[in-house]
Structure 1
Amino acid sequence: MRYYRYAAVFVLALTALLFSGITYVTTPAQTAAPRTISEASVVKVTEKDGHGSGVNIGNGYVITAGHVADGNAKAKLKTSDGREMDADVLWVNKEYDIALLRAVGLPTVGSSLDCRTAKAGEEIQAAGNPMDLEFVSSFGRIAGDVRELGPWRQVLITDITIVMGQSGGPVFEADGRVVGITVGVASATLPGGIIGATPSLTGFGMVVPSSTVCMLMGRA
């Protein structure tokens, strides 16, 4: 019995010693991350020839594709909660296919731009307004590194399904920050001689990386 009493006292003493020496350290998971808005920052951009998509980056500024805003001094925006407002087209860069708009009435805080170039294999989410659908997302990965392709000076290849109306929409990384802007999709020309055949869109979308957007905005 004396042995068991000694053993119990030893265990209690050891426990007290261990817990009295514990130091609590803040881990990265406990550190506050940069605030992100994600899907709520997506807008629909309507102009005289159709519509596209865009993303509110805060303080009334909206990024969209250059070809969505090109030739227009103004555009109309619609937010995911149904509000509509006019926006001024501040500038359009045709070489990189990026435009900057500004509107009064948008939430002051928007999604954050991650001024980097995403790498092949990264998981992403592309949000926008494809065809007659509003405020939907598709999911996939970066499928190829940045390159000059077609009319675009710098784009990333993705394996996300992109169709008309999504141009200008944001591409989000896992933490909700914007790593790119959708600008186009690959098209496949079908072999001749097929009755009724028409060119078809593929499942590869083109995205201008946020590093390029930040450079155009003087943030790099």
Structure 2
Amino acid sequence: MQSLALALLSAALIMAQAIAAHARPESFADLAQKFSPSVVNITTSTTVAQGAGPAPLVPDGSPFEDFFRQFRDRGQGGDRPRRSSALGSGFVISEDGYIVTNNHVIESADEIIIEFYEGGELEAKVIGTDPKTDIALLKVEATSPLPFVSFGDSDTARVGDWVMAMGNPLGQGFSVSAGIVSARNRALSGTYDDYIQTDAAINRGNSGGPLFDMDGKVVGVNTAILSPNGGSIGIGFSMASNVVSRVVDQLQEFGETRRGWLGVRIQDVTADVAEAMGLENASGALITDVPTGPAAEAGMMAGDVILSFDGVKVPDTRDLVRQVGSTEVGKSVRVVVFREGGTKTLRVTLGRREDAENVDGTDLSDGGSDATPAPQTMMGLTLSPLDDDLRAQLELAESATGLVVRDIDPLSEAYEKGLRAGDVITEAGQQKLATIDDLKDRIADAREAGRKSLLLLVRSAGQPRFVALSLGDD
């Protein structure tokens, strides 16, 4: 009897596993029928100058110059402006007519026409755009409430989950494709990228359309494809809804984005940098410069490693940028930094990123010695202290101090890590440098502390970055 019960239980478990393994929708028809009325086709029209297009390459004075000009004028009406059209997709997010699409779909458009699934067209106006995430918010004035869809939580989307894309591929009209989530947290080229990768077919014209989960929630906005031939090869990217929804809320409220701003220049912590600083793990965001701004006011310093921001661990620079950008302007947050072998908690009141886009960094160096000894070579670098002549040649501030790279061994580790003649080393071991002896002291200190490498702060064309160089043998 007991063996029969065990056999039945085993069979039930096998059956449950089989059902789970084959758990998939038999059809996407119900979802498509329910949510298609909320998806729209977008047609844009733009006036462009006739001379803006490509023209035959005819040398000035050529006997064919007049011929090609006359041919162009007859065929295209001279230099008169012409209209250019483009197609894309979008989706309605409120019954009063707010529509989400990609910024590149409507950028520079003179006229935007929305075509609805159940027929009819309306002209749309732009409420706001965010080129950084390629999102735009439009508005139409409808005579009756419009069917709309809602954003889902993209963070719950798992690799392997079913998804469905809708849009207007290649101008063919309303179309549905299905696939799975192929990958998460993809970055293409933007600072705030957080893409869902999918193998649901996405082609030109799908841009701006929704990516649905199986609950009919929008988890992404179809934005880009990776393709060698311009067509879908099963690698498409949808901007995650948790990024889009925050952008849309700000565009709807302010007509623009308002991202948090910390005010630091940062780089990732590599294994050799972590070893040189005495960090247990190669994680966090290493501050290379602190221009005037919120971080400077809070006491942050170049050489600090940001370990956590507003109670959340910081694995790398990309994650920190996204955390800061999604935090409200004016919020006071706790930032934990690693400094001089220990941790320190600072409180920072965030500024607004958009107000600081063009703010230049300030030179934070202290004044130094006027001594100008002969160049010396160490770690593959031929170095000289900064003097007035070198400051003038390198267009540096009069207060700038450090060691100038006069020459570099092309076979050295320093060369492999990107140092070049003309670079200025301003710090070693997170202490200011003014003389060659300062660098020798830092090397000696690192060796005494058992370090295998020394952390240098290098300015290349004015941009700071940290580089860890091996100390080698005595």
Higher relative contact order (CA 8 A, sep 6+): 1
Contact between 1:73 and 1:89, CA under 8 Å: does it hold in 2?
no
Shift of 1:150: 3.6
Compare 133-142 and 116-125 and name the one that shifted more: 116-125
Quick one: percent identity of the two aligned structures? 31
Looking at structure 1, the residues matched to 243 and 37 of structure 2 have their Cα atoms a distance apart, in angstroms, of 23
1:78 has 2:115 as partner: yes
Of 185, 191, 208, the match for 1:146: 185
Instruction: Summarize the Cα distance change of 1:108–1:82 in structure 2 as closer, same or farther, 3 Å threshold.
Output: closer
**Structure 1 segment 60-209 matched on structure 2, within 5 A:** 60-72=97-109, 74-105=111-142, 107-117=145-155, 118-151=157-190, 153-188=193-228, 201-209=232-240
Which residue identity is paired with 1:203?
G
Shift of 1:218: 3.2
Which residue identity is paired with 2:234?
G
Structure number having the greater helix percentage: 2
**Structure 1 segment 1-40 matched on structure 2, within 5 A:** 38-40=35-37
The ranges of structure 1 where at least 4 consecutive aligned residues each deviate by more than 6 angstroms after the TM superposition are none
Tell me the SS of whatever aligns to 2:245. Answer: helix
Aligned length in residues = 176
Shift of 1:141: 0.7
Structure number having the greater strand percentage: 1
* Structure 1 stretches lacking a partner, 5+ long: 1-35, 189-197
Residue of structure 1 in register with 2:272 after alignment: none
Looking at structure 2, the residues matched to 141 and 75 of structure 1 have their Cα atoms a distance apart, in angstroms, of 32
Tell me the SS of whatever aligns to 1:68. Answer: helix
Looking at structure 2, the residues matched to 37 and 55 of structure 1 have their Cα atoms a distance apart, in angstroms, of 13
Residue of structure 1 in register with 2:21 after alignment: none
Instruction: Summarize the Cα distance change of 1:137–1:200 in structure 2 as closer, same or farther, 3 Å threshold.
Output: closer
Looking at structure 1, the residues matched to 141 and 248 of structure 2 have their Cα atoms a distance apart, in angstroms, of 20
Looking at structure 2, the residues matched to 108 and 161 of structure 1 have their Cα atoms a distance apart, in angstroms, of 27
Instruction: Summarize the Cα distance change of 1:141–1:93 in structure 2 as closer, same or farther, 3 Å threshold.
Output: same
TM-score normalised to the size of structure 2?
Answer: 0.35
Which residue identity is paired with 2:140?
A
TM-score normalised to the size of structure 1?
Answer: 0.73
Instruction: Summarize the Cα distance change of 1:146–1:176 in structure 2 as closer, same or farther, 3 Å threshold.
Output: same
Looking at structure 1, the residues matched to 183 and 130 of structure 2 have their Cα atoms a distance apart, in angstroms, of 23
Instruction: Summarize the Cα distance change of 1:134–1:199 in structure 2 as closer, same or farther, 3 Å threshold.
Output: closer
Contact between 2:41 and 2:168, CA under 8 Å: does it hold in 1?
yes
Question: Which whole-Å deviations, capped at 9, do the CAs of 1:104-137 have from their partners, x for residues lacking one?
Answer: 1173441111143322111110000111311110
Instruction: Summarize the Cα distance change of 1:38–1:76 in structure 2 as closer, same or farther, 3 Å threshold.
Output: same
Looking at structure 1, the residues matched to 129 and 203 of structure 2 have their Cα atoms a distance apart, in angstroms, of 22
Compare 158-167 and 143-152 and name the one that shifted more: 143-152
Shift of 1:154: 2.1
RMSD: 2.2
Which residue identity is paired with 1:204?
I
Residue of structure 2 in register with 1:216 after alignment: 247
Which protein is bigger by CA-based radius of gyration? 2
Contact between 1:37 and 1:111, CA under 8 Å: does it hold in 2?
no
Looking at structure 1, the residues matched to 245 and 171 of structure 2 have their Cα atoms a distance apart, in angstroms, of 30
Compare 162-171 and 66-75 and name the one that shifted more: 66-75
Shift of 1:66: 1.3
Contact between 1:41 and 1:111, CA under 8 Å: does it hold in 2?
yes
Tell me the SS of whatever aligns to 1:149. Answer: coil
Shift of 1:204: 0.9
Shift of 1:201: 4.4
Contact between 2:203 and 2:231, CA under 8 Å: does it hold in 1?
no
Looking at structure 2, the residues matched to 40 and 139 of structure 1 have their Cα atoms a distance apart, in angstroms, of 18
**Structure 1 segment 41-60 matched on structure 2, within 5 A:** 41-48=38-45, 49-58=85-94, 59-60=96-97
Looking at structure 1, the residues matched to 230 and 37 of structure 2 have their Cα atoms a distance apart, in angstroms, of 34
